[in-house]
Structure 1
Amino acid sequence: MSTENIKVIVRCRPLNKREISFNAQNIITINSNVGQIIVNSLDKTQTQYDNPQEDVKQIFTFDQVFGTQSMNIDLLYSGMI
């Protein structure tokens, strides 16, 4: 029986042309130092009487994360693949 560990690497892409044409905003914050991706979004379940600008943050932690400016070679030299 193998005792290999699984490592999870995430690479985030930049907005594509279609998303840019719709004035979409990037809601991802990447902290490569600790391997975290923070998803910032507005809570769509709020009513007009609630604070409509209240941010909802979700934090996900991975073995390693790469930002929107990363290239394939960055993953190769990271030692993770």
Structure 2
Amino acid sequence: MEATDLLIGYRTNPHVDLYQRGEEAAKLMLEMFEGERPVSYRVRLPLLPVSDTADGARLSLRRAIALGQRHVDASVMNVTVLAGSLC
């Protein structure tokens, strides 16, 4: 994460939200070009299952994504939940 200004992850599995995440990334990049300076934080949550192939894992990940999205507002540009090796 140290080498990134933005990290925008998928919110669906299968990953069918490529267009929407691209739009979001473009919007946030424009805000950066206009002077916004995002600060990134990484929080490791040991409770999320690594595998997204089981129904329970998908449900847990879906809930975590929904919870994160409730925190997006004028002061929070994006909340991305990742499970697996990128975490």
With the shorter chain as reference, the TM-score category is under 0.3
TM-score when normalising by structure 1: 0.24
Specify which structure has the higher proportion of helix.
Answer: 2
Highest CA radius of gyration, 1 or 2?
1
